[in-house]
Structure 1
Amino acid sequence: MAAFVAFILLLMTGTLVPVNSDFRQTPDGIQVFVVSNGVHSDLVFPVREPRTATNWLQKLNDSTVVSKFGRYEYIGFGWGNEGFYLGSYGRQFPGLGATLRAAFPSPTLLHVDFYKNAPQPSERVVPLLISEAQYRQLTAFVVQSWQTDSAGRPLLMNAAGYTPDDFFVRAKDKYHLLRTCNDWTNRGLRTSGLRAALKAPFAASVLYQARQASKKPPRQLPTD
C-alpha cells in the first residue's frame, strides 16, 4: 500500500518538478506549439521550416497526403494507445475494456493533424520559440516514433481520422500505465532540451511546464 501511495505521489508531484529548468526561448527562434484537447497533448510544427530544411510532407512521403495537405501551414503529432484512439471515432469515449487494456503494454499509433493556420495561444495552446538544434532534435524524436515500411516511409494505418484534416500512422513502442500519450509529448520536450515535467501523467502536466517556459525571458544573445 505504501508503495502504491508513493507511486501516486510521484505521478502528481512530478508535474511540478521541472527538467531542463534553465531552458530559455530563443529570440527569433522557430515557433512550435504544445497543444492539448484537455486529455491528450500534441506537438505542433510548421509544415515547412526553411532554416532546418524540414518539410513534413516530404517526410510523410505519401502522394495523397501531399496533394490533400499541400496548402496547410502546420502539422501536429500525438502518440497514444491504438484501441483508445480508434475507439474515439464519432466523438465516443472508448469502452471500459479498451480503457483497462490501455493500462498494459499495447499497440500504439501516431495521430497526425494538419492546421491551415498557426494555433492561437490559449489555455490549451502554448507557443515556444526554440533553437534550430532543439527543433532538429524534436523533429527527430517524432520521426523515430513512427513505424516505416521497407522503403522507409511511415506506415499509414488509417487514412480517415476524426475530421478531414487528420489521420493515423503506426507507431513504435508500447503504451501502458507508465508510458502514456502525455508522457510521450513530455519526453519529446525533455530529450530536446526544452523545459518539461519530471513526470507528466496528464495533459495539464505538460502544459504547465511549457507555460512556465513561455513566461521566462528569452536567453540573451552574445553581442559584439
Structure 2
Amino acid sequence: MNSISACLNPVVAGLWLGALALWLGACAAPPDGLFPPGEGEPVVPIYLVSHGWHAGIVIERAAIPPGLLPEQADFPGARYLEFGWGDRGYYLSPEPHVGHLLKAGLWPTSSVLHVVGFSEPVIDYFPRSEIVYLEFSRDGFARMGRHLDSRFAREGESAVALQPGLYGNSRFYRSRETYHLFNTCNVWTARVLHAAGCPITPAFNITVDGLLSSVVSDCGGTTKY
C-alpha cells in the first residue's frame, strides 16, 4: 500500500501554514441541525482510517441513499466502501517521488478518487491503521453522500474509471476537483465530514494526525485499533 499517496508532505506544510490566513473561507460553519444526532435518533456509522499521510473515509454501502454514488455497482457484494482523494500524478505514478508532491502542493493539478470495496470488519481489513469511529444522523449522512457523489467527474451518468487501485478490490476514478495548496487530501476529507455536520474547520486539518484529533475532540469520534 502506498501510505503517502498524493497528500501534502512536510516540505509543503510550512508554505501552506504561511498562506492559510489568506483563505477567507477557512472558518465557514457546518450546516445547522445535522450534528450531533438527537437523542434516540437513528445514526449511521462512519470510519476514518489513517494511512500515514492521509485518511480514507469508510461507509456502509447499505446506508447510501438511493440514486447516489452509482460507482458502488463496481463493487458487487462489498459491505463497505472506502473513499480517498488526491493528486492524480502522484497517485497514479508507479514510482512517486518528492517532485510529484512539490508540484501537487505548489501548482493546481488534476485529481482522482480512490475507492475500495471490502466486506471484512473495518478493524480487520486495516489491522495496522489507526481508526476513528463516529456517528452521523441520517440527514447528515445523506448530505455527506451528496457531497461525495458530486466529487466524481462523470460522462453522462457514468464515472470515468481510470485503472485498478492500490490495494484489494479498488479503482481510481477521475475527480472534478483540482488539487492545490488549499485543497489537499486531509483538507478534502475534512470537507466531506464537515458537509455531514462535523464542526471542524477543514482548512486547519492539513495533517492526518490533526484531522483524527479534530474528529475525536469536535465530532465525538472514538479511536479504535
What is the CA-CA distance between 1:172 and the residue it aligns to?
1.1
Aligned mates of 2:140, 2:193 — CA distance in 1: 9
Match of 1:100 among 99, 102, 120: 102
Q: 1:96 Cα deviation (Å)?
A: 2.8
1:145 has 2:151 as partner: yes
Equivalent pair of 1:49/1:55 in contact (CA under 8 Å): no
Q: Name the counterpart of 2:176.
A: 172
Quote the Cα distance in structure 2 between the aligned partners of 1:192 and 1:215. Answer: 14
Q: Deviations along 1:161-183, whole A, 9 cap, x unmatched?
A: 12231110000121012110111
Counterpart of 1:119? 122
State yes or no: 1:156 paired with 2:167: no
Q: Which residue of 2 aligns with 1:24?
A: 36
For the pair 1:44 / 2:50, whether they are aligned, the reply is no
Question: Which amino acid counterpart does residue 110 of structure 1 have in structure 2?
Answer: L
Corresponding residue number in structure 1 for 2:82: 76
Deviations 1:126-183 (A, max 9, x none): 1111111101110111110010012x1111111x112231110000121012110111
SS of alignment partner, residue 144 of structure 2: helix
Percent identity, please: 22
Partner of residue 210, structure 2: 205
Alpha-carbon RMSD: 3.1
Structure 1, gaps ≥5 residues long? 12-16, 217-224
- Structure with greater strand percent: 2
The answer (yes or no) to whether the contact 2:161–2:172 under 8 Å persists in 1 is yes
Larger Cα-atom Rg: 1
Q: Which position in structure 1 is the counterpart of 2:190?
A: 186
Counterpart contact for 1:33–1:43, Cα < 8 Å = yes
Matched, 1:110 2:113: yes
Counterpart contact for 2:16–2:181, Cα < 8 Å? no
Please state how far the C-alpha of 1:54 moved relative to its aligned partner: 6.8
Residues 201 and 215 of structure 1: CA distance in aligned 2, closer, same or farther (over 3 Å): closer
Q: Give distance in 2, aligned partners of 1:196 and 1:107.
A: 26
Distance 1:170 1:25, change over 3 A: same
Question: TM-score normalised to the size of structure 2?
Answer: 0.74
Equivalent in 138, 157, 162 of residue 132 of structure 1: 138
Residue by residue over 1:74-131, the C-alpha shift from the partner in whole angstroms, topping out at 9 and shown as x without a partner, is 00111110011112x4xx5x22321221021001000001121231298721111111
Distance 2:15 2:51 in 1: 28
Q: Is the 8 A contact 2:162 2:174 kept in 1?
A: yes
Partner of 1:60: 71
Change (3 A) 1:95 1:155: same
Q: Distance in 1 between matches of 2:72 and 2:44?
A: 23
* CA 188–215 in structure 1, closer or farther in 2 if over 3 Å, else same: closer
The 2-side partners of 1:207 and 1:176 are apart by 21
